[in-house]
């Protein structure tokens, strides 16, 4: 006889084990006790405070970019859509003339992409800070 046949014959001779009559009830009682002891509480990965900070920072960055785009002197268009009457801010921005000329040539889409990247970097930094706690 082969080893496999011997093993099958041996296993057939063994008495079968059966669970006790109240096995299911005991298991269910234990499961119920486990769920009562440690209920699952939902916790978001990013708290509401962090989301609020991300929204505020993104909004401020966007607002700053729009203000810089429309108010700073330079660029190909000499007239601005949002000029203040009889107030010339160009004297304040003379040191930044090169920067403002380059900024006026940047499209609003590119500024949006830069803001999105900055927001993602901020979220990543906040996530790694809170994940390591």
Q: What is the pTM of this model?
A: 0.31
Tens-place pLDDT, residues 38-94? 666 777 888 888 889 999 999 998 888 877 777 766 544 555 555 555 666 667 667
Q: What is the pLDDT of residues 103-120, one digit of tens each?
A: 677 777 887 888 899 999
**Per-residue model confidence (pLDDT) at position 76:** 44
Alpha helix (H) residue ranges in the chain:
3-13, 23-37, 48-71, 97-105, 108-131
Instruction: Give CA 16 to chain center in angstroms.
Output: 55
Residue 95's SS3 state is: helix
Whether 92 and 119 have beta carbons less than 8 Å apart is answered as no
- Radius of gyration from C-alpha coordinates of the chain: 35
Task: Say how far apart CA 111 and CA 119 lie, in whole Å.
Answer: 12
């Amino acid at each position: 006889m082969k080893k496999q046949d011997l093993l099958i014959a041996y296993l057939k001779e063994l008495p079968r084990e059966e669970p006790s009559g109240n096995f299911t009830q005991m298991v269910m009682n234990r499961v119920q006790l486990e769920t009562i002891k440690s209920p699952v509480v939902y916790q978001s990965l990013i708290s509401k405070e962090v989301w609020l900070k991300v929204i505020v920072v993104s909004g401020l960055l966007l607002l700053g970019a729009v203000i810089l785009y429309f108010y700073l002197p330079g660029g190909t268009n000499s007239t601005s859509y949002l000029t203040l009457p009889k107030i010339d801010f160009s004297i304040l921005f003379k040191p930044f003339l090169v920067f403002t000329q380059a900024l006026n040539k940047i499209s609003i889409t590119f500024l949006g992409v830069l803001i999105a990247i900055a927001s993602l970097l901020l979220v990543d930094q906040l996530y790694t800070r809170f994940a390591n706690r």
